[in-house]
Every structure is written in structure tokens, then in C-alpha cells.
Structure 1
Amino acid sequence: MPFKDIIGQDRAIGFLKNAIRKDRLAHAYLFTGIDGIGKRTTAINLAMVVNCLLPKDWDSCGECLSCRKIQRGNHPDVQIIEPDGQFIRIEQVRELSRSLYFRPIEGKKKVCIIANGEKMQHTAANALLKTLEEPPSHILIVITAPESKDLLPTMVSRCQNIGFNPLAPAIITKRLCEERGLDRRTAHILSFLAEGSLGRALSMDSQSLLEKREYLINEVCNISFREAGKISTFAEAMGKSTDDLLDTLEILKSLIRDIMVLKNAKEGVCPIIHIDCMDKIRDWCKRFSSARLFEIFTTINEAKKAINRNVNRVLVLETMLLTISRGEVRNYA
């Protein structure tokens, strides 16, 4: 995909194109940002640009033999390194380092894209340092990761860091309508739940999420009146799958966010996500104070962070639900 077709990353693309125009590309780049916003796509196109047979306007043509091979994943001078299981292992990096010292076979540069660089084992990261410190002139390395702090500081210091921004909900809504044929209301909801990630939005099961939302609306309405035994049962049902649970908590958080917006913000300043649930949201506005809503929102957020750290899901949920019912904030650190 040429740079011109990558949406929502004008600053990052502009920076790269300017470096290409001035013939001042770095030997190594670190692309940081959440998943699903174009880091990998941009890295692949950068490999296409530096090896394109018919470049135009500092971009790849996307059609020459070199570009087609890179898009198909069979160009001999372009490698993509990904985790082998949970990690990128030292054996992968050693083999990569050996291959990079050979001259390109077909292209102008050898390009290596290390996807999910945060999953490099410590020994693998150290093995890559020598190549980053003394790079051959014919190589280009691109590492992708959520944040620079996820990598060794010595590795970060040897790369040029380019941050990628979460995409605006309006951009995601438009793409969901065009690519998945969703109605605008559903696309609007998914665009906010995806938290700026187009990749995540495109992979979401809209029907399942809307069903979860309806279930949560009923549960949230009654949560203050639940007995401890019922809260435990609810927590066990919610905690069966980590991926589903994170989606569920994001929906719950977005519902509380809407109530806070409607209760405190001036009309039209902040968009309501669940616009089709206004009656319920207005009802909750009457039932909860601003302070109580903030406590609930904070509690949900802390629970989500704890689950991302692999804390016991059911215990976190039980504590979260009991805390919400008491209106207290729980810190899981």
C-alpha cells in the first residue's frame, strides 16, 4: 500500500517522505503506537519505496515487480521477523544479523521489519545491538512496538523514533461503513470502542458487541442492588475469556463515560457514543452523582489494567463489582 493510501498518519508519512526526498533515511527506525493504526503497513511500504523500480513523488508505485514481490512477501531482500510463539528469540536475531551483512540480491537495500519488537527476549535484543551500532550501508531496519519504553534503552537510542497516532473515530466510522457495510450507528459505536485502532475495529464482531452491551446495560442498572453471591456468579461469567473481557470492560467504561458526558459537559461539546441508548443514559444521570460516576469509571479502568497484567480475572472482577456497588475506588497495584 503506497504512502498516499495510508490514512490518519500524515505526520509520520511526511517525516519519512522528507527523509527520502533528501536522501537522508536513517539505518534504523522505531515505529511506536497502538496496534492496528498502520505501523506495519508503513514499514512495508518503506521497504517498497527504497527498492521500487518506478518511484514517484517519493512514494512507491505499488505495481513494479519489486513492489509486487514485497507485497506478496517473497522479495529476497525484505524480511519480516515476528514472534516465534510468545517471543522473538535469539536464534531468529542471529540468523537475521548474519543475512544482513550480505549485499542485496535484487534490490537497492536489504530491509528487515521486526514486528512486535517489545516481544524480543533480552538476549535477542542484545544480539541485535551490534548490527544497530555498526550497520552496513545497504541495510534498513524498522522495529514496531507500542511504546519506546518497551525496548532496551540502548536499542531505542540507536533508532529514529516515529510515533503513530490513534485514528479519529470519524475516520474509523467511514472505513467501517465502506469496508464492512455497517450502518452508521453501529460503525460509530465500534469506532469509539476500538480506541483509535482501525485494525481492531475491522476485526470486531459487531453483533456480539451489541449483545454484550445490552446485557451490560441491564447488569449496570441493577449492580448496586446485587447480593455478593450474585456478583460472584456475574464475575465468573464475565471472566471466561481475557479478550472478550477486555471488550466487555471497554463497553462498560464507554457507557459510564457517556453518562459523565451527558451529566457534566455542555451539549454538543463531546459526542455521545451510545446515542441509541439515550433514555437509559438519562435515567442513570438522575441516579448517580458526578463523584460516584468518576469512582465507577476509575474502578473499571483499574480493573482493565490489572487484567492486562494477568492478575486473576475473577478476583479482579469480583472486587471491581463489589467496589462499584459500594462507590469506592479500588487500586489493584
Structure 2
Amino acid sequence: MQFHQVIGQEKTKQTLQSMVTSDRMSHALLFLGGEGSGKLALAFAFAQYVLCTDKQDNDSCGKCSSCLKAAKWIHPDIHYSYPTVGSKMISTHFLPEWRKAMEENPYLNAHQWLQHLGAENKQGNITKDECVDIIKKLSLKIFEGSHKILIMWLPEYLRKEGNRLLKMIEEPPDNTLFILVAENQEMILNTILSRCQLVKVNQLSDEEVKEALIQRKNVSLEKAAATAHLAEGNYNEALNLLENT
């Protein structure tokens, strides 16, 4: 995903681009924002930008081998972690479902993700086995990029198991980048929060949601404006409203 494919968030995009171009990037970032703000899409675009081999002024090139793989969620140096169901399950078991869900809607919420797994009535979790697997993956050498990157969506689901990751977050292997993507800061372990640089992702404006609906969903101006107003800056909610009207 490229930055221009992310709705709004122009100031945050500039901040992220500057981190890379000025070589002042923290090794652990927390993208914090409400549902439908685009924080996960921003994380994808940022990871692709970091690994792009032909960066443009304000975006990844979208054409190099790294970009093409990142855009399909198959880059060997970008790892993903997210809530799953089952005490022994790890994210790798659900990669096909993850890629399909992200292609359809990278603005989705946790309930919709669990629906993709056929487990909407179960409690999602980021398990002990998942933490062990993350440490194993990030201990491997870099395959082809400049960095190893972990994108963890909803670290709120870590609970006490997150303590297993503290040492690696605090003292990561060389050229390793953690990107945590969260909605509820109060549900994240303080020991993890203290090790991350915060990237605040604001809710979208009604105008940004309206324009996105017109351009991406071919919605009439009147319907797009009404839907955007009801969605209150949540693009995912806007999509849900369209689907149910």
C-alpha cells in the first residue's frame, strides 16, 4: 500500500516520511487512533515506504520488487501479528485469510476480522505461542530488504503475554522495526507503551470520508455527504452504513 492510497492523514504521512528521510526513525512505533481512522493502512504504507528501493519525494515507488511484494502482503521481511482464536494459534496459520481481508478492507475492525475467521462469537487473543513465534521470526536474518518489520494490529489483545516481547522491543536486533497499531491505549501494557514512540492518528473529517466514498465507491455526492456525517470520521462505519442502506 502506498501513502496516496490512505485516506487523509496528510500531516501524519509527512511526519512518517520525515522519520525515514532524516534517518530519525524509532525502532518501536505505536500508531494510535480510533476505528476507521486508517491507522493500519498507514502502517502498511509506512512499512512499504521504509523498504522501497526507489523512494519518491513523498511516497514509495509502487513498482520495485519490494513494493510489489509489500502491496500483496507477501514481503519476506514484513511480518504480521493480529488477534486469532485458539490457545495454540499463531498469526502465520491465518495468513491467507489476513491477505484476503486486507485486500477487501484495511479499515476493518476486530469483529469483522474474527468474522473472516468464522469466529465472530469467540474471544480474539494474541497468544503465548504467537509471542514466541514473533521472537523467532525477528531473530532471523533480513532476507532482502533494509529492515525486518513487525506490524502488530491490536496489541490490546496481548495482555500479560506481551511481557515476553519486552526485551526484544527494548533491545531489538539491528535494523528491526516494531509497528504497533492500536485503538485503546489504556488496554496496552504500560511496559510496552513506555518503549514506543507514539504516532497519533486522528479521526477523518467528514469531507475526507465523503470524497473517499465518491471516488472509491462511486457514491452520489448527496449520499456520500449524508453517510460521512453519520460515520463521524470512521471510514469503516461509512462502508457499513452503505452496505446496510
TM category (shorter chain) comes to 0.7 to 0.9
Shift of 1:56: 1.5
Alignment match, 1:177: 214
Alignment match, 2:160: 122
Q: How does 1:262-277 map to 2 (within 5 A)?
A: none
1:33 aligns with 2:29: no
Alignment match, 2:236: 199
Alignment match, 1:113: 151
Alignment match, 1:152: 189
SS in 1 for 2:178: strand
Contact 1:49 1:58 in 2 (8 A): no
1:23-77 CA distance string (max 9 Å, x none): 1111010000112222111111221122112112253111111111111111111
Contact 2:203 2:234 in 1 (8 A): yes
Uncovered stretches (5+) of structure 1, i.e. residues with no partner: 210-333
Q: How far apart, CA to CA, are the structure 2 residues paired with 1:110 and 1:136?
A: 9
Alignment match, 1:314: none
1:94 aligns with 2:132: yes
Q: How far apart, CA to CA, are the structure 2 residues paired with 1:73 and 1:8?
A: 22
Q: Structure 1-normalised TM-score?
A: 0.59
Paired AA for residue 217 in structure 2 = R
Paired AA for residue 27 in structure 1 = H
Uncovered stretches (5+) of structure 2, i.e. residues with no partner: 86-123
1:190 aligns with 2:230: no
Farther-moved stretch of structure 1 (156-165 vs 113-122) = 113-122
1:163 aligns with 2:200: yes
Farther-moved stretch of structure 1 (135-144 vs 184-193) = 184-193
RMSD: 1.6
Alignment match, 1:3: 3
SS in 2 for 1:84: coil
Contact 1:52 1:64 in 2 (8 A): yes
Aligned residues: 207
SS in 1 for 2:71: helix
Q: Structure 2-normalised TM-score?
A: 0.79
Farther-moved stretch of structure 1 (177-186 vs 144-153) = 177-186
